[in-house]
Amino acid sequence: MSLSLETSEERIAFEQAGALPAAKRFEDDAVDRADAGAEVPLLQTLGLQKSYGGLEAVANVDLRSRGRITGLIGPNGAGKTTLLNIISGVERAGSGRVLVNGRDISGLPIHARAAHGLVRTFQVSRELGRLTVLENLLLARPRQTGEKLFGLFARGARVRAEEKAGIEAARAALLRVNLWRLADAPAATLSGGQKKLLELSRALMLDPLLILLDEPAAGVAPAMKNILVSTVRDLAAEGMSFLVVDHDLDVMATLCEHLYVMAAGRILTQGSFKQVIRDVRVIEAYLGLKP
């Protein structure tokens, strides 16, 4: 089944990259052979499958994180968000496994996956608009003594110490995404791009090993998009890892060291940006063309 390209920007990106003429197929098994004997990946999925009635949204997907920033692209309806939902624990797979650092976390709920270092942001920001930017981050901090009434009243000194530590952690997270100057602003007053940065800073409060970024550039002005890209690259340089899903091919080309391409629930191919956009299967899936 052929899937049409969703935006003219994506078509232009393919054309400018020289993907249309004389495309070359890159074989997946060559990549798999190169990985033989490699160290355990931070994130790995094995045979993930998910169906809704007669529709197979995710079909036997094997994926592993490669480098600090791994990308996942594909036309609308390819199954990318469903795959992220399964990896993050929002949805359960019909079959297959999710591993973090070689440990099977397939049966764990969202909060337990976060405890293993796997955190997820969403395409639509989910800030608490009436709270300040700082308060949004403080709510994200896990395992606080003051969450329970007994701890709040019986362990006041401990609660105060944790609150102070939480503010310092929130300040550090907001500084990393350049939002500390807006710490006292209501979250509802932030721009779309700033809300994406707020979502990212809340993820940082959980001390993650790997963050799943779902459409971080969607609905973001060009200037703020550049800031988002720079922020993610800076965090990666500091040792953070990411799995990024986005339709913006310019963003993905700039960010990702390795890309997977998904269509109709399956992984079509993988490789560098230049490799995958020249793959005949990718061109057919995006453009409905057969070279």
**Of the listed ranges 101-110, 139-148, 186-195, 212-221, the one predicted with least confidence:** 139-148
Band (pLDDT 50/70/90 cuts) for residue 22 is very low
Q: What percent of the chain has pLDDT over 90?
A: 56
For 160, residues 6+ apart whose C-beta sits below 8 A from its C-beta are: none
**Interval 147-188: pLDDT, tens:** 554 555 545 566 677 778 878 889 999 999 989 999 999 999
**Interval 249-290: pLDDT, tens:** 999 999 999 999 999 999 999 999 999 988 888 888 876 655
Residue 223 region by backbone torsions, left for phi larger than 0, else alpha for psi between -120 and 50, else beta: alpha
The C-alpha atoms of residue 133 and residue 200 are separated, in whole angstroms, by 12
Given a cut of 80, whether residue 109 has pLDDT beyond it is yes
The C-alpha atoms of residue 13 and residue 247 are separated, in whole angstroms, by 11
Average pLDDT of the chain is 82
**Interval 42-56: pLDDT, tens:** 999 999 999 998 889
Residue 211 or residue 154, greater confidence: 211
For 229, residues 6+ apart whose C-beta sits below 8 A from its C-beta are: 217, 251, 254, 255
Q: What is the pLDDT of residue 48?
A: 97
State how far the alpha carbon of 124 is from the alpha carbons of 105, 161, 180, 191, 198, in Å: 26, 34, 22, 13, 12
What is the CATH class of 8-127+210-287? alpha beta
Domain boundaries defined on the chain: 8-127+210-287, 129-189
Mean pLDDT of 92-113: 94
Kindly state the helix (H) or strand (E) to which residue 244 belongs, with its residue range. Answer: strand 241-245
Beta bridge partners of 253: none
What is the per-residue DSSP string for 207-238?
--SEEEEESTTTT--HHHHHHHHHHHHHHHHT
